[in-house]
Structures are given as structure tokens and as C-alpha cells.
Structure 1
Amino acid sequence: NSFINNNPEPRTPIYPRRNQNDPSYTLPESQLRSALYIPPSSNSTGAPILFVPGTGSFGGINFSPNLLKLISLDPSLGQPYVLNIPRAMLDNIQNNVEYIAYAINYISSLTGSAQISVIGWSQGNLATQWVLKYWPSARSQTKQLISFSPDFHGTAVVNLVDLPGPGPLALPPAILQQRRDSDFIKTLRQGGGDSAYVPTTTIYSALFDEIVQPQAGIIASAYLRDSRGVGVSNNEIQSVCGPTPAGAFGTHESVLFNGLGVALALDALKTGGPADPGRLNLGKVCQDAIYPGLDLEDVLVTEGLIPLAGANILEDLDQGLLVEPEIRAYA
């Protein structure tokens, strides 16, 4: 979970921007580079996979008890790179996106690959979609986006924090920016930002997602259009599996170990995406509330992501704002 990592300089210049059409980074290059954790076992010849965490989380704790564990058991799936963004993704999302854009270009420079798969949870997908919209260099290096519990249209649940009290409650910038009617969400979705820029797989639960709502049907915040024809697979677990162990119940975090959710992600990694439920043995997959290879300890650690995020949010309140940050000029 360290965001202070000693990584080598990129092999080709990517700062202050790689492409003349990219926005210039506002954060120091050393800070952007140090947020990326490269496991010692990483093989630069393997297909790179960038893991981007959700609000209130770091990449290590977010994915170690689920996707990262499974990839360690089968390295043929790809080589992981993990983002641990300072303030646990609670800062201005327009700062968070710089870490993602830089990481994609850095990994590309380091490995020579233009085939980077990005796996995100929650805000990690929203922020990546922003990167894919505004950083053409990153878009050209991204093979696919695999999205767990994304909130591409924000969430109405954020409004629940507006509780009666002596005055307005200052909140971390990223919380304000994920309101369904925020300027950040409106800016992202306008001009085709509600459609995929790269092959995209979304995996989400219509019922019991305690963080992102609405999440059902075509109004689901996770639902992404495909106006560019790049390929999108929207997978509401209840619609795919019905009243089965994998389909009957799903929280914001449990999709990370859900039998169907993980199977879809692995299918996308193996085929280049997007995932296709038709390629899966749904009769078997839908019977797995927990994907084979994961155990009870993995489930408990993954379920702990929500209370951990809550604790990080409370700790961050002293840096909170009353209004969301202004949209930057490049957007």
C-alpha cells in the first residue's frame, strides 16, 4: 500500500505530457511515479495489468485478497502494477487522474507495450474514464478497462451525508465530485463521455450496492454506452445469474470475489475484452458465491474495504471542502 516507491525513470520522456494533445501534469513527476507499486516478481514481458483502487482505498489492500491473489496463482493472466494514490483517492479526482494517466504511459515506456489492461473498483473506473477521455496518449496505450462497481454517473448515496446539523459538512473533494449531479460528472458525461473509449467490461450489482445507486437497468451508474463501437459488456450480476449464489446478492465490494464477477474479469483478460457471459459455463459459475481459489479470509478482508474506506474518509475530513473543486481548463 506504499505510495513512496523507488521506480526507475521512464525509458522515453512522458512528462510534462507525452502527447501534444494531453493536458500537462500539475503534480511533480517524482510524486506521480512513486505512487506505482511494481511487484518484485513482475516480468516486463508479460501483459501489463494496472490496478486502480476505489474511494478511501489503496490499490494493495483493495485487490490483494481477490484479483491480485488469483493472478499470482496464474501469472499467464498478466503482470500486475498497483496504484497507491496519496489520500486514498479522496483528493480532487482531477489530481487522482494524473496518477492513472502517468502510470499508463510509464508502464508503456517501461515495457514497450501498448496493450495495458486496467482493472478498477468504484471511483477507480470513473477516474480512468476521465483519463481515457482527456489523455489521448493513455487511451492509445490502453487495451481494455475492466470495471467493478463503477459509478460513471456518480451516486445518489452521497446525498445521505447531508445530515441535519449546525452547518454544512466539509467533505473530501472526491466525495463531492461523485454526487450524481456534480460538475465533475456532468463534464465527464458530456461530449460522449458516457460511452466507452476502449473495450470495456462493467461488473456490478443492482441490489445491495450500499455505495452506488441507482445500479439497475440502463439507468445504472455502471452502465456504459458504446457509441464508438469499441465493444462494451455491461453485466448486472442479477440479470446474468438470476436467483443463484452468485446472482442473488451482491454488495459494492463483494463483486470483487463473486464467482461471476471474477470469471468475467478473467475472461476479459484472456480474450482481450470485453468479457462475454456466453463464453462462460454459467451453470457452474453462477453457483459460486466465492470464486474458486479464494477463501473465507479473502472474503473478510475484501468486505473490510468499506469500513476501512469510512475510517479513511473520517480521517480526511480536516481537509474537506464545502463545494467541489472547479473543473480545470483542459476539460
Structure 2
Amino acid sequence: MRLVTRAVAMAACAAAVLSMSVAAHAARGHPTVHHQGPPLSVPADRLAASLTCGPGVVHARRAPVLLLASTALNSGENYGWNWQRTLTRRGIPWCASDVVGSEWANHNMEDIQVRAEYVVHAIRTMNRLSGRKVSVIGHSQGGMVTRWALRFWPDTRQRVDDVIGLAPTNRGTALGTVLCMDHCAPAGWQQRVGSRFFAALNSGRETYPGISYTVIRSDADPLVPPETADLTGPGRIANVRLQDRCPANTADHLAVGTTDPVAEAVALDALRHPGPARWQRVHRAVCGRTLMSGIDPRAYPDDVARTGQVFNHYFDSAPRVTGEPALAWYAVAAPR
């Protein structure tokens, strides 16, 4: 697919961007929030229409899972042919959140700060319906955006059990920074290494006690290498390389979030046990598998090709702007 070809071709250029010190871009003056958080600006009818759930979420017997898609995909394209089936077959209740609006917003190409409001709504709603804390599985942008919700809406912290990021852009994407040098979609600007968005997101602390964080990434992923995925901070954190369990694993960025059986096994380990995942608990037999359990092998060629085509279409054709969206007022207010 063009995504892989383009990523490999520009990996050397991205390495130069990675040499930048993220600390040099750390912003001052971002608030320490000790309340419920700002009112949600997204209209209530859009929030109500944003959540799609499988069976068993109401009065759930176990923590429900919130699925959050990557940049340039919506939840059906990212998860409808893999993770939703995996969770349903295992009796794990789930919901998927999508932005309601333009096709570009629905594919997570617009302001991530607005996307985060949908995540806040999803966490609150799922917690209320299930009576349990929520576990989150997110791919790429979807693996990072929950952290914005936790940072600026503190009431969500008591409602979340696990945050599981599949190749999450926790500090940006260096290759994306190279690709986004002039005109980019808003979400592209925000996911550049050293953006104002990441300065605000990672100000103060990256994680919160009481929540388990699992980062799952691959050495074969040129978009989100460990330097821009891993988390540090208080609480329970596991930064897991797929190659820790399976040294020959070659999953790229798209595969980590959609098809890779090792990523699936590590994420399920986090859901099964208190605390984050431990790759040592994952059986070595997973290294011999080619696809995650929810995928229909007969439909796989068409499913993965279609997902790659959709990604490339929205990444390439989304309306461009000339700079990063302004930080929301609550992210630059005086500390309190």
C-alpha cells in the first residue's frame, strides 16, 4: 500500500526530526485542573449520536471497552472487521465513538481537541450505563486522545481502568512532521513533534495513578517509533514492543492497530489482569499466527486493502490549513 511505501521512503528524513529535543518544546502556563472540566462545546444531539455499542454494555458484567480509531479512519473502518468481532466473541462489551459532522471530522482529520470532547462523553456514558470503569483501546491518534480527556476533564480519571494504545502518537509522529511541512489537516499539525497541542497534553504529568497504561508499538513502524509512543509518569505503565515477545515480528503502523495477533494478545492481557499488560504472560505460540482472532481470513485481503485505501484517501485529500489550531481556552488558562 502507498502508506507503507511512502513511510519507508521517508523514514530516514523522519529520523532527523526525532533528534529534536521534545523537552525544548515544553510549554509553560498550562493549567492544573482540579474540577470536572470545561463544559462540552459539542451539541448534545451530536454527542448522543456518536456512540455505537455492541451487546452487554448496560449493567455489564465486566469493564466495557471503548474503541477509538486512528487519524484518517472511522471506527467501522478501523475496527469493524477485527477488534469488534474479537471482543464480541470473547463476551467483552464494547462501544465505538465517532465524531458526528463532516466526512473529514468523522475520519479524525479535524481538531483533536473537539475529538476529545466526544471521548469525554463516551467515557461518562459508558460508565453510567455499565456501572463499571471503562477500558479504552485506541489506534494511533485514538491511542493518544483519551489522555487529553483525562488531562482536562478530571472526573474521567475515576471512570477509566485501562488505556491501551496501539501505536499511539503520545508525543507526535516524526514522519508525520516531515509530511506536514506547509499545508496540513488540523489533526496533522497537532500531531507534529513539538506541537503546542503536545506541549499542553504532556504538561504536568503524562499519566494518572489508578489508571493502567499499556503502550503497544513495533520496531517496524516508521510512523510512531518508541521515542514518540512511550509514556512515563506515576501509576502503572507498560511500554511493550511487539518484538519483546516475537523478535521477528514485522507489523507496521496500520497492522499494529488492525491485524497483528501479537498486538491483540498483549491488549487482551491488559484487559484480563489488574494493571497493565505483561508481554511475558503472552504465550509464544502467538508468534506463529498471521492474523488476530477476530479477522475472517477469507475477507482479509479485501478488508485490509479497503482500510489502506480509505486511510490514504483521507490523509491525502483532507482540506488543508496553514497552521496548528489554537489551543482551547481551558488549555492555556492561568493555573488554578
Q: Which TM-score tier does this pair reach, normalised by the shorter chain?
A: 0.7 to 0.9
1:44 partnered with 2:58: yes
1:175 partnered with 2:188: yes
1:223 partnered with 2:251: no
- Return closer, same or farther for 1:143/1:24 CA change in 2, 3 Å cut-off: same
TM-score (norm 2): 0.80
Identify the residue that residue 14 of structure 1 maps to in structure 2: none
Q: CA offsets per residue over residues 88-119 of structure 1, 9 Å max, x none?
A: 11111110000001110011222222x10011
Q: What CA distance in whole angstroms lies between the structure 2 residues aligned with 1:202 and 1:299?
A: 27
- Return closer, same or farther for 1:253/1:272 CA change in 2, 3 Å cut-off: farther
Task: Report the RMSD for the aligned CA atoms in angstroms.
Answer: 2.0
Q: What CA distance in whole angstroms lies between the structure 2 residues aligned with 1:117 and 1:30?
A: 24
Q: CA deviation at 1:300?
A: 4.7
Identify the residue that residue 27 of structure 2 maps to in structure 1: none
Identify the residue that residue 80 of structure 1 maps to in structure 2: 94
- Return closer, same or farther for 1:196/1:122 CA change in 2, 3 Å cut-off: farther
Structure 1 residues without counterparts, runs of 5 or longer: 1-18
- Return closer, same or farther for 1:66/1:179 CA change in 2, 3 Å cut-off: same
Structure 2 residues without counterparts, runs of 5 or longer: 1-33, 332-336
Identify the residue that residue 275 of structure 1 maps to in structure 2: 277
- Return closer, same or farther for 1:20/1:153 CA change in 2, 3 Å cut-off: closer
Tell me if the contact between 2:59 and 2:129 (Cα under 8 Å) persists in the aligned partners. no
Amino acid at match of 1:330: Y
Identify the residue that residue 3 of structure 2 maps to in structure 1: none
**Equivalent residue for 1:266, pick from 265, 268, 271:** 268
Identity rate, percent: 26
Tell me if the contact between 1:33 and 1:103 (Cα under 8 Å) persists in the aligned partners. no
- Return closer, same or farther for 1:200/1:302 CA change in 2, 3 Å cut-off: farther
Q: CA offsets per residue over residues 138-174 of structure 1, 9 Å max, x none?
A: 11100111110101010111233357xxxx43x2111
Identify the residue that residue 322 of structure 1 maps to in structure 2: 322
Q: CA offsets per residue over residues 250-308 of structure 1, 9 Å max, x none?
A: 111112322211111111111144111121222x1222232345343236524543331
Tell me if the contact between 1:37 and 1:82 (Cα under 8 Å) persists in the aligned partners. yes
SS of the equivalent of 2:288 reads: coil
Tell me if the contact between 1:65 and 1:299 (Cα under 8 Å) persists in the aligned partners. no
Matches within 5 A, 1:127-166: 127-162=145-180
Matches within 5 A, 1:297-316: 297-298=299-300, 300-302=302-304, 304-316=306-318
**Equivalent residue for 1:61, pick from 77, 90, 112:** 77
Amino acid at match of 1:119: I
Identify the residue that residue 121 of structure 2 maps to in structure 1: 102
- Return closer, same or farther for 1:92/1:286 CA change in 2, 3 Å cut-off: same
1:90 partnered with 2:95: no
Tell me if the contact between 1:144 and 1:272 (Cα under 8 Å) persists in the aligned partners. no
- Return closer, same or farther for 1:305/1:160 CA change in 2, 3 Å cut-off: farther
Amino acid at match of 1:200: Y
Identify the residue that residue 204 of structure 2 maps to in structure 1: 191
TM-score (norm 1): 0.81
Tell me if the contact between 1:196 and 1:232 (Cα under 8 Å) persists in the aligned partners. no
- Return closer, same or farther for 1:196/1:206 CA change in 2, 3 Å cut-off: farther
